[in-house]
Amino acid sequence: MRFLIYPLVLVFSILSGPFAAALAESEAPFGLSWGVSAEQLKASGVGLQLRLPDNTGVRFAAANLPKALSDLGEAILSFGNNDKLHKIEAISEDVTNDPAGIRLKARYATLSRALTRKYGKGVTRHKILEPWTRRNDFLTGIYRGSSRYYTDFIGENVTIRLKIRASRRGTSNYVLTFQHKKIPRGNGVPSEKDVL
């Protein structure tokens, strides 16, 4: 009996201690883990196609994610210094023939409620300026940059932005950006201050 108790106590202490906290912190959206490398993701079956890098580091379009939203069009994963996943950008499928943004706003509201349940109340910035206040001009104002429609959420280790964007072709979509706060970003080139 004593031989069974010791392993159970050990497992319980591991799962309830710092190891469990570190495990919970590494959980990312879409069934991914923060800090994972591109090679680890490929080995797990996630398809990665290289994209042009930006100031957040090397980027890949991801396919075959462990979990996905029903209307996910594309997921872009950014890997910063030391090849660690630190940013996930999820872009919905294009919405067409919706100049007032009615369908898109409804989906935005649904996602906003889900994010609120998980991360707490966000800070909403819905600013529609003249002359874009007419119903069918909503997306035009977004496209021209005169109007803004987004909400920011802040978790313990991650910031999230849910926003609506539009193109000149009259298509629109929502973009969900998850950014880990503590994983280094950039293209892997250390600054002069870190070298000297």
Digit-by-digit pLDDT tens for the chain (196 residues) are: 444 444 434 344 444 334 333 434 489 999 999 999 999 999 999 999 999 888 878 999 999 999 999 999 999 999 986 799 999 999 999 999 888 889 999 999 999 999 999 999 999 998 876 666 666 778 888 888 788 899 999 999 999 999 999 987 778 999 999 999 988 765 555 555 544 5
Backbone CA torsion sign across 84, 44, 178, 53: positive
Nearest to 126 by CA among 107, 141, 116, 144: 141
- Tell me the two tokens of residue 93: 């499928």
For the entire predicted model, the pTM comes to: 0.79
- Please state the domain extents for the chain: 2-188
Contacts for 64 with CB less than 8 Å, ≥ 6 apart:
45, 46, 47
From CA 38, how far away is CA 27, in angstroms rounded? 16
User: Cis before residue 190, ω within 30 degrees of 0?
Assistant: no
